[in-house]
Structure 1
Amino acid sequence: MSLFKRHPLGRSELNIPEICLGTMTFGEQTDEADAHAQLDYALEHGINFIDTAEMYAVPTRVETYGASEAIVGRWLQRQSRDKIILATKVAGPARSLEWIRGGPLSMDRANIHAAVDGSLQRLQTDYIDIYQLHWPERNQPMFGQWQFDPEKERACTSIREQLETLGELVREGKVRHVALSNEHPWGISQFTRLADELGLPRIVSTQNAYNLLNRTYEYGLAETCHREQVGLLAYSPLAFGHLSGKYLTDSAAPGRLTRWPFFGQRYAKPNVTAAVQAYADLARNHALTPTQLALGFVRSRWFVASTIIGASSLSQLKETLPATLTPMHAELLEAIDAIHLRYTNPAP
């Protein structure tokens, strides 16, 4: 019997495990043999929820575009497809990804259809359980940006057109449920309103960063998603490894941030190190590792439908997966909030 609980997702019939295995290291840091071992290990422990994306592996480059999906797809051939909950994402514009459909220039009907067909081919499956828009096409702050700037407005595909296209994919049987990622309250509200008004598929979740260094979800999204019945798939629970505490003692410790320094710009901000130190001290005062504190905290939140954890190796997954089960008692949560009030969202 699995130790992990299962939660309903949005208004769907999906019942997802509270932990999801992320795959963005597959094909870059993680070779195929280790990736398949991780997938096997997760499934053995009741984690049948797998998240990937067409643009993975990360950091993104032309040589590894689609590699994560392809690795998952080859593993999927050994599984009972109906026992796996598979999520992937379509890459949007406004980032330098010229090797993905020439930009992509927009998230219009042609781009979304081309993206889903490519993902289905790489994943070697007839359908995707949860299909997510990886980030909004419209102007909004994301990936470490923290201010909305109306001067950066640009032409973009309407939310209605995006939702209508997703509806086509559902009717065609290529997608079971639709979802968002890196969204803000306004976007959630618009997608749910238009779905209800036009009889289009309702989003079941949003995949957003959430961790001890970035609790911005709590300010507007928590209420919006609760009232609209949209689940949170929380990614980066360890804040790119910062919350493991490993960079406190060795700034050159092995990891994505030392291998690709540009990759963690979201965390190159004042008070990040001070906050990490405070959380690490708190963990040790309660006989926990910093990893246990960080992962246990995210799993404990009432609004988190599933916590996405990723690992560069099977040995790392064997450490982090049990750590998510760390119980959080009232005194510990109060101490976490006290640190949060002192170092409020240093890495939004």
Structure 2
Amino acid sequence: MEYRTLGGTGTIVSTQCLGTMTFGNESSEEVSHAQLDRFLERGGNFIDTANVYSRGVSEEIVGRWLAARSEVRDQVVIATKGRFAMGDLPNDVGLSRVNLSRALDASLRRLQVDTIDLYQAHAWDALTPLEETLRFFDDAVRAGKIRYAGVSNFLGWQLQKAAMLTDRLGLTPIVTLQPQYNLLVREIEFELTAVCENEGIGILPWSPLAGGWLTGKYRRDEVPTGDSRLGDNPERGMEAYAPRNAQERTWQVIDAVRKIADSRGVSMAQVALAWTADRPAVTSVILGARTVEQLDDNLAAADLHLSADETALLDEVSEPIVGDYPYGPQGKAQRASGRVL
């Protein structure tokens, strides 16, 4: 396992992070604890969850694992999130001080810890002034309830505004961004990557395997069946499956990943994870396994690095499809040069 600093902080985390969205849903508590044990054995020290994962059950599973292994707490960095509804009342949702204070205290109880290492806003909240959310994060750090603050699923202007506000107001900075990022979803490169590089914010990609597409388990024009998330519950993702299946780019990317995997003697998942881990500003890639066997395969990518030629091939076939301006060829040249042409 390799390690990097958590954004611009001095805290060290593994370049792979164990995501726990499957805990309590697709993975039983026994399997979840087995995944946590295996991750720790292989050198992983970064665990990500959220209060809404299995409606609190994921945090509870992690909490019971920590409680049963008292020596482990100082070895791991625990991240969780708050924002989405955990109740039916008007103030049970959002990034307001009211909801986040309740959500944070509940997460601390479920995780059975005194301090959460990284507390993240799970998504933007247009109803709450951003300054209110950032001041809550700052107060939580001062109270010793959290060590660092991060955000997830923010747009470029939203993240830049947060970074500028914390700097101007002298508040605890945003140290991480958790976005969807993989070979099939590269749109964060238009603006968010640059913001993160400029502001010292670490990127924590979720869905690095694009919901299983980059593992090679799906076939062109075939309805998914068998041991896959879409196979188990086709209706869950068929709205996204159909347009992705219809894009020639999807299959060009999959073919390129398979070609590199075959030449390397590794799995397609390992190639996709290695590409993501070595992208600019990426701190740690979030793994989402249902079984220990899936996790083992993902963990094998921890020390895999692609060659310049392999990376160039994947970059070329996965280039996002955009118009001309501002994200097409002209806009790309401007961003690369740092000046208006």
TM-score (ref. length: structure 1): 0.84
CA RMSD of aligned residues (A): 2.0
CA contact (8 A) 2:275 2:306 kept: yes
Larger displacement relative to structure 2 (317-326 or 17-26): 317-326
Larger displacement relative to structure 2 (249-258 or 292-301): 249-258
Identify the match of residue 171 of structure 1 among 128, 131, 142. 142
Give the deviation of 1:305 after TM superposition.
0.5
For residue 88 of structure 1, give the secondary structure of its aligned residue in structure 2.
strand
Amino acid at match of 2:301: A
- The match for 2:100 is 112
C-alpha separation between the residues in 2 aligned to 1:79 and 1:260? 38
Give the deviation of 1:198 after TM superposition.
1.1
Q: 2:144 aligned with 1:185, yes or no? A: no
Amino acid at match of 2:13: I
Identify the match of residue 81 of structure 2 among 79, 89, 95. 89
Give the deviation of 1:100 after TM superposition.
6.0
User: For residues 304 and 247 of structure 1, do their structure 2 counterparts lie closer, same or farther at Cα, with a shift above 3 Å needed?
Assistant: same
Amino acid at match of 1:259: D
Identify the match of residue 225 of structure 2 among 252, 255, 264. 252
For residue 188 of structure 2, give the secondary structure of its aligned residue in structure 1.
helix
Larger displacement relative to structure 2 (109-118 or 244-253): 244-253
CA contact (8 A) 1:86 1:129 kept: yes
- 5+ residue gaps in structure 1? 58-64, 139-155
- The match for 1:14 is 11
C-alpha separation between the residues in 1 aligned to 2:171 and 2:57? 32
Amino acid at match of 1:69: E
Q: Superposition pairs for residues 88-237 of structure 1, below 5 Å?
A: 88-92=80-84, 97=85, 99=87, 104-138=92-126, 156-237=127-208
CA contact (8 A) 1:179 1:206 kept: yes
CA contact (8 A) 1:243 1:276 kept: no
Instruction: Note the alpha carbon deviations across 1:281-323, whole angstroms, 9 max, x for none.
Output: 2233332432122111111213211000011011111112103
Q: 2:44 aligned with 1:54, yes or no? A: no
TM-score (ref. length: structure 2): 0.86
- 5+ residue gaps in structure 2? 323-341
C-alpha separation between the residues in 2 aligned to 1:273 and 1:254? 23
- The match for 1:5 is 2
Amino acid at match of 1:206: L
CA contact (8 A) 1:129 1:175 kept: yes
For residue 305 of structure 1, give the secondary structure of its aligned residue in structure 2.
coil
CA contact (8 A) 2:226 2:232 kept: no
